[in-house]
Amino acid sequence: MDTLPDLARADHAFHALSCAPVFRRRTRTVGSLVGLGLLLGGCASFSEDGGLSVARNYAALELKKDIVKVNDQGIALTAEAEVEKLLRRPLTADSAVQIALLKNRGLQAAFNDLGVSEAQFVQATLPPVPRLTITQYGTGFNTDIERSVVASLLELVTLPLRAEIARQRFQSDQYRAAEQLLRLAGEARRQFYRTVAANQATAYLEQALASSESASILAKQLGETGALNKLEQAREQAFYSELGAQLGKARVQQRAERERFIRLLGLWGREIEFKLPNGLPALPGRLVTGPQIEAEALKKRADVQAARFELQSLVGQYGLNQASGFISVFDVGFSNQYTRSSSSESGGQGSIAPKPTSSSLNGYSLDVVIPIYDFGTIAVRGAKEAYFGAANRLAERAVNARSEVREAYQRYRGQYDITRHYQGSVLPLRKTILDQSLLQYSGMLIDVTTLIIDARARILSNIQAIEAKRDFWIAATDLKAAIVGGGFSADNFGGEAAGGTPGTSLAVATPGG
Angle at CA of residue 195, ends 502 and 475, nearest 5°: 70
Angle at CA of residue 37, ends 31 and 38, nearest 5°: 95
Eight-class DSSP state of 368: E
Q: Give the alpha-carbon dihedral of 29, 35, 41, 44, to 10 degrees.
A: 130
Residues 178, 364 contacting (CB under 8 angstroms) = no
**C-alpha dist (Å) from residue 493 to 93, 256, 474, 498, 507:** 20, 19, 9, 11, 15
**C-alpha dist (Å) from residue 233 to 223, 259, 437:** 7, 40, 18
Burial (CB count <10 Å: 0-12, 13-18, 19+), residue 335: middle
Burial (CB count <10 Å: 0-12, 13-18, 19+), residue 286: exposed
Residues 423, 347 contacting (CB under 8 angstroms) = no
Nearest-angstrom CA–CA distance, 439 and 426: 20
Angle at CA of residue 430, ends 429 and 432, nearest 5°: 65
Task: Give pLDDT tens digits along the chain (513 positions).
Answer: 343 333 233 333 333 333 333 333 334 444 454 454 444 445 678 888 889 999 999 999 999 999 999 988 999 999 999 999 999 999 999 999 999 999 999 999 999 999 999 998 888 888 877 777 777 777 666 777 777 777 766 677 777 887 888 888 899 999 999 999 999 999 999 999 999 999 999 999 998 888 777 777 766 776 777 766 788 778 778 888 888 999 999 999 999 999 999 999 999 999 999 999 999 999 998 888 877 888 888 888 998 988 888 888 877 776 655 555 545 555 667 676 767 776 666 555 655 666 677 777 777 766 666 665 555 666 677 778 888 888 888 898 889 899 999 999 999 999 999 999 999 999 899 888 888 877 876 766 766 677 778 788 888 899 999 999 999 999 999 999 999 988 776 544 444 443 343 344 444 444 443
Residues 6+ apart with CB under 8 A from 384: 318
Pairing, β 330-346 against β 131-137: unpaired
First to last CA, the chain: 94
Predicted pLDDT of residue 136: 72
Q: What is the DSSP string of 213-252?
A: HHHHHHHHHHHHHTSS-HHHHHHHHHHHHHHHHHHHHHHH
Question: Looking at domain 180-305+389-502, which CATH architecture does it have?
Answer: Up-down Bundle (1.20)
**C-alpha dist (Å) from residue 390 to 64, 81, 247, 322, 404:** 32, 43, 51, 18, 20
Q: Is the dihedral of CA 120, 126, 128, 132 positive or negative?
A: negative
Radius of gyration for the chain, computed over Cα atoms and rounded to the nearest angstrom: 37
Alpha helices in 266-370 (DSSP H): 293-300, 302-324
Eight-class DSSP state of 45: -
Nearest-angstrom CA–CA distance, 42 and 125: 7
Predicted pLDDT of residue 97: 97
Predicted pLDDT of residue 248: 94
Predicted pLDDT of residue 213: 75
Nearest-angstrom CA–CA distance, 448 and 462: 21
Q: Give the alpha-carbon dihedral of 269, 271, 273, 277, to 10 degrees.
A: -160
Nearest-angstrom CA–CA distance, 26 and 272: 67
The DSSP H or E segment spanning 199 is helix 159-225
Predicted pLDDT of residue 234: 81
